[in-house]
């Protein structure tokens, strides 16, 4: 049997995607263990869930560091203390410096609430409504130094409804994120994913997608 893969998840707030991943790992008995949940904010709601699950938690507060470089250096030390095979950004609201991202090249995933490359950055649901697109969604991608870019692992499409508000759209996308992200992380831990010329190849069978 393949060795257990070790996952560290980074959050900044609610942590609902993190919860979905933790639950899927348990109920689907992934060959993986959640080694730690790390937050850049001590008051992140998701830390309570992690602690209640008995998962180690750590806080590296960006406000304690004078600049991004020093914050990222401290963050890297804490992450590497857990020796992860995979680092999962789940609502982690910090722009990471290139050296940090490159250190985790090919083993750091992010979820972004839009169909990338459309609408990188903040307020994606507002951007979608303003653009008048008829479909929106979410993307899981490998992290590269360019914000909200990087090889795409999976996407989910959500129809934009006539009477959608930013909140209603966000809510429907979030429900889909909770299905999409655990699936993508599972493919990684099962060694299904490879990157070739910036494209992700997935060896999972159709019924496993
Ligand atoms: C999620 O919608 C995630 O896609 C988004 O923040 C939310 C976090 O919710 N991430 C980004 O916007 C990253 N640029 P959660 O803490 O409940 O998972």
Q: What is the pLDDT of residues 171-190, one digit of tens each?
A: 999 999 999 999 999 999 99
Which positions ≥6 away from 15 have C-beta within 8 Å? 37, 44, 45, 46, 47, 49, 50, 90, 91
What is the distance between the alpha carbons of residues 124 and 112, in angstroms, rounded to a whole number?
9
Cβ(143)–Cβ(114) below 8 Å: no
- The pair phi, psi for residue 102, each rounded to 5°, is -70, -30
Tell me which residue has its CA closest to atom 5 in ligand 1: 91
What is the distance between the alpha carbons of residues 12 and 138, in angstroms, rounded to a whole number?
18
Tell me which residue has its CA closest to atom 1 in ligand 1: 91
What is the distance between the alpha carbons of residues 141 and 34, in angstroms, rounded to a whole number?
20
Look at residues 180, 116, 185, 184 and name the one whose alpha carbon lies nearest to residue 146.
116
Q: How many domains does the chain have?
A: 2
Give pTM, 2 decimals.
Answer: 0.97
Q: What is the domain range of residue 209?
A: 111-209
- Dmax of the chain from CA atoms? 51
> Are both 98 and 131 inside the same structural domain?
no
Q: Which of 81, 104, 127 is the last residue of a domain?
A: 104
What is the distance between the alpha carbons of residues 187 and 31, in angstroms, rounded to a whole number?
11
Tell me which residue has its CA closest to atom 3 in ligand 1: 91
Distance 196 CA to ligand 1 centre (A): 27
Q: Which of 104, 133, 148 is the last residue of a domain?
A: 104
Structure tokens at 101: 């991202």
The reply to whether 112 belongs to the active site is: yes
Question: What percent of the chain is predicted at pLDDT more than 70?
Answer: 99
Pocket test for ligand 1, best of 12, 110, 113 (most atoms within 8 A of CB): 113
> Are both 14 and 86 inside the same structural domain?
yes
Pocket test for ligand 1, best of 17, 21, 23, 110 (most atoms within 8 A of CB): 17
Tens-digit pLDDT profile for residues 43-95: 999 999 999 999 999 999 999 999 999 999 999 999 999 999 999 999 999 99
- On the question of pLDDT at 1 being above 60, the answer is no
CB of residue 177 inside a 6 A radius of ligand 1: yes
> Are both 122 and 98 inside the same structural domain?
no
Q: What per-residue string of b and e applies to 126-151 under the rule 16 or more CB within 10 Å gives b?
A: ebbbeeeeeebbbbbbbbbeeebbbb
Which one of the listed residues 103, 112, 136, 149 is annotated catalytic?
A: 112
Distance 138 CA to ligand 1 centre (A): 10
- The pair phi, psi for residue 127, each rounded to 5°, is -60, -40
What is the distance between the alpha carbons of residues 147 and 91, in angstroms, rounded to a whole number?
14
> Are both 121 and 70 inside the same structural domain?
no
Q: Note the residue count of the chain.
A: 209
> Are both 96 and 18 inside the same structural domain?
yes
């Amino acid at each position: 049997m393949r060795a257990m893969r070790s996952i560290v998840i980074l959050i900044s707030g609610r942590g609902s995607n993190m919860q979905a991943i933790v639950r899927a790992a348990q109920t689907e008995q992934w060959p993986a263990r959640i080694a730690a949940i790390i937050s850049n904010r001590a008051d992140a709601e998701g830390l309570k869930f992690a602690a209640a699950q008995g998962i180690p938690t750590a806080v590296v507060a960006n406000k304690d560091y004078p600049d991004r470089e020093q914050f990222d250096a401290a963050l890297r030390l804490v992450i590497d203390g857990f020796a992860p095979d995979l680092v999962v950004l789940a609502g982690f609201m910090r722009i990471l410096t290139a050296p940090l991202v490159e250190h985790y090249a090919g083993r750091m995933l992010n979820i972004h609430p839009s169909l990338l490359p459309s609408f990188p950055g903040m307020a994606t649901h507002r951007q979608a409504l303003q653009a008048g697109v008829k479909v929106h969604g979410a993307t899981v991608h490998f992290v590269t130094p360019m914000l909200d870019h990087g090889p795409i692992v999976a996407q989910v499409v959500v129809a934009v409804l006539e009477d959608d508000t930013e909140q209603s759209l966000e809510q429907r996308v979030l429900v889909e994120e909770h299905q999409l992200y655990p699936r993508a992380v599972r493919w990684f831990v099962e060694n299904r994913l490879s990157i070739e010329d910036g494209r992700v190849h997935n060896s999972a069978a159709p019924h496993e997608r």
